[in-house]
A and B are shown apart, each in its own frame.
Chain A
Amino acid sequence: MSGISDTERMITLKTVEGTLFDVKSSIAKDLKTVQAFIDDSDDDVTSPIPLPNVFTRELSRILDYLNNHHRFRSGIEKADEEMARYDAEFAKSMSHEELKALILAANYLNVKDLLEFLNQTVADVIQNKSVEFVRNFFGIENDYTPEEEEKLRNENEWAFNGVEQD
């Protein structure tokens, strides 16, 4: 009989480390994986939802991003500028490792807008970088023989023109 509307309902999420986060259901909608879980259960989920692949640091960042973006969108003008500034700071505040960890979490939770932003951020970081930098960034082993790699480089010689030095 409390008349609490749907958007004020709170959902509790539990990270790998056991930390609990209370999230408004309007924000939880952007975590599509969580929303699907809620839809599949009895719509009356009270116990904390466990997120076995998500760490506290990442969930905290994701919720921070979503809360801010919801705030910007519901506000009046000037929101675009503020949002762009927030996004830039958000991206800058993370190391490359943290960026990748966040992508993994956002991918698992299926947070569409954030994932697009993070993918674009990574693309911007690596766009003008060398092959070695990119291998390092993604933790990829080079499985070419020196001859194979040389041949491939020659075939695409022009693409190596003007590349940023590491």
Chain B
Amino acid sequence: MKPVKAVKTEMKELPQEVMVEIFLRLPVKSLLRFKCVCKHWLSLISDPNFAKHHFQRSSLNLTHKILYTLHFVAWSWDFNAPFVDHSALSRIQLPLAFVPANINWMRMVGSCRGFLLVALNDNILLNDLIIWNPSTGSCKRVPQPPTWDNKFAFLCGFGYDVSTDDYIIVQVSYKNWEAYLDDEVIIFETFSVKSNSWKIVDVHGLNCTYINLRNDDVDTPRVGSFLNGYIHWLAWCKDGERANQGAIIAFDLNENKNGLRLHEVPLPDDFIHEYSDLGVFGGWLGLIEMNAPDQLNIRVMKEYGVKSSWVNLITVSLLNIPSDFISPMFMFLCKDGEVVGVYDGVGFVKYSDRGGELLEPPNNPHGRSRFYSTASVYTETLLSLPSNHGDQG
């Protein structure tokens, strides 16, 4: 007798449009895991249009993590989770396929919509760049900018232009070291992922009176802060009536608007440019300032462009941190308002948003390891880079 195949008393599978609605409500981590369920799910989850839809739908509720590297091993940390939660830390594979065999140095120089811009091997030339989505693992090597070999980059930035659905890298350089000393014309270059090419931007109206802040820090390009379609840097007016005064300059990533591509965003009147840093906190442009030897203050501009809207967010005391360094390497804002600091050799600390007191004692899951080489906040997305014509990768 022919064996009768057992039939599952199974109702039919849920229709695709329902599955997609369920997928849209899942976090990126679950979706990446569920790629393994079956090939149909793989194609649904890997669809770039689905990724865009998922990103837009989650935009108020994105998962933020910190990616840091320690001796060339990358870790992703869910800093909104309590420190005791061991699953909050995951090792992330560095995109070895794209990284040359002997990298001796790497630094995160931008973060936007789930992508990190990573600079390899050289800090001044910024010739070796990779755009990387640590959640999906996909990455792209950026072709070298076609400018001078001895170029000295002092500003860099990474952002997204809504009008063209394109990711843009910006570098601002002096032609060479002598040009910097002689204060010659600076070069603004942008890279567009869609066109896969660099071009020099004529920043008309900019009198090149801005330079990198902190002259003693000239071997480290200042990383820009992307917000509202602009890349922002702290700069210093070199000459004119505002010589030696600080300024925030904003570069418009949209090249098709009329008007100047570079404008200033007002700093608070009591701004002192020693020991200060620009960042983005909770969707606002913010300043981290060391306003006393043991104190760090974060304040934010609650209304973009409005000088009077600078308000204090949090002041933290550095007294209780047994660190060899005077200040944390990096600071990030949690979604509940607390602030997380990363201290070299000590690990992570969390400060309360009310009084700035230490909420969680220093936690270092790596023992007394020194030298977190680089850290950055990123969001988990499934997004992929727009491809340019003819680019199949």
Residues in A lying within 8 Å of B, measured CB to CB: 97, 100-101, 103-104, 107, 115-116, 119-120, 122-123, 126-128, 131, 134-135, 138-144, 149, 152-153, 155-163
Contact = CB atoms under 8 A, between A and B. Distances in A.
A78 B37 CA distance: 42
14 contacts: A100-B11, A101-B11, A104-B11, A104-B12, A131-B33, A131-B34, A134-B34, A139-B8, A139-B13, A140-B13, A144-B36, A156-B36, A158-B29, A159-B29
Nearest to A130: B33
A158 B92 contact: yes
Contact of A141 (B15, B18, B38): B38
Contacts of A138: 13-14, 37
B35 A152 contact: yes
Contacts of A107: 14-15, 17-18
B93 interface: yes
Contacts of B214: none
Nearest to B23: A123
Given A139-B10, A162-B87, A155 B25 contact: no
B185 to A, nearest CB: 45
Contacts of B27: 127
B38 A144 contact: yes
B204 interface: no
B26 A126 contact: yes
B200 interface: no
A101 B90 CA distance: 37
B91 interface: yes
B38 A143 contact: yes
A149 B36 contact: yes
A132 B137 CA distance: 23
B39 A143 contact: yes
Nearest to A141: B38
Nearest to B17: A107
Contacts of B262: none
A122 B18 CA distance: 11
B90 A161 contact: yes
Contacts of B14: 100, 103-104, 107, 138
Most chain A CB inside 10 Å of its own CB: which residue of B12, B22, B36:
B36
Contacts of B215: none
Interface string B71-111: 00000100000000011001111000000000000000000
A131 B37 contact: yes
Interface in B18-72: 18, 21-22, 25-27, 29-30, 32-39, 41-42
Contacts of B93: 157-158
A156 B137 contact: yes
A138 B18 CA distance: 12
